[in-house]
Structure 1
Amino acid sequence: MTQAQNTARTGIVSPLRVVLVAVAMLSGLVIVSPAGADHNQVFELHQRGEILSLVELIDRAQAIHPGQMVEARLDEEDLVYEITVYGEDDLYHEMYFDARDGRLLSEHKETEASFRSDHHHNGD
């Protein structure tokens, strides 16, 4: 990506992040980072083009399973986004994407009872 494209893209992503945070707050979407996460490091990785933005991966997840966003996480060590969507099929779809290229690595489906039980047990 050229410097001009990166600069233009940055101008677009920043307002999208603001919208994403606002939507997340209104819809109950949980965006989680590991304890002690260095958000500046994540931002720099994105700015250097080493990882895709969360917005891009949420769009991909929604294209695969339309529905309500529930949760999004970045595993900074492995550079994997975990995105959970409550799909139109009444199942929770936990999708794992490579943060570098957006490739879907794996997917796990759960019923509401199973999802709630797992997340309550894990403290999420």
Structure 2
Amino acid sequence: MNDPAEHTVALPLLASDAERERAVAQLQHHYAVGRLTMPELESRVVVAYRARTRADLDALLKDLPGEPERRLQPQQDPIDTRLLIILACVAPPAALVYWIIAQRGTRRSRLRPRALEPAPEREGGTEA
């Protein structure tokens, strides 16, 4: 009867400084590609830094198209170049093996999506 979960009110989540900076970066990106004018950017940046909740930040970006997160992230280098240099100095054959394995892994990851595509169906039906 007196369940505290029933009486709790959903409070809005507060925005962190990192989330504000991320929103400002997205606004700057939209300005750079021509979706915002300078006055719009300036006013939205001011509002972003004053935002208290995540909902306030979401409202700033609501009328702008979303960008995939992977575009903003740097590409991962499959080879750790520091490790490769150390191996080349200490044990050159090991460096060669490491480099070959890393290259094979890169090549496989590029070929993997094609291999997962369904095979095209042949015209002419099934053979008996």
Rg comparison, structure with higher value: 2
- Is TM > 0.5 for Structure 1 vs Structure 2? no
What TM-score, normalized by structure 1, do the two folds share? 0.26
What TM-score, normalized by structure 2, do the two folds share? 0.25
Higher strand share: 1
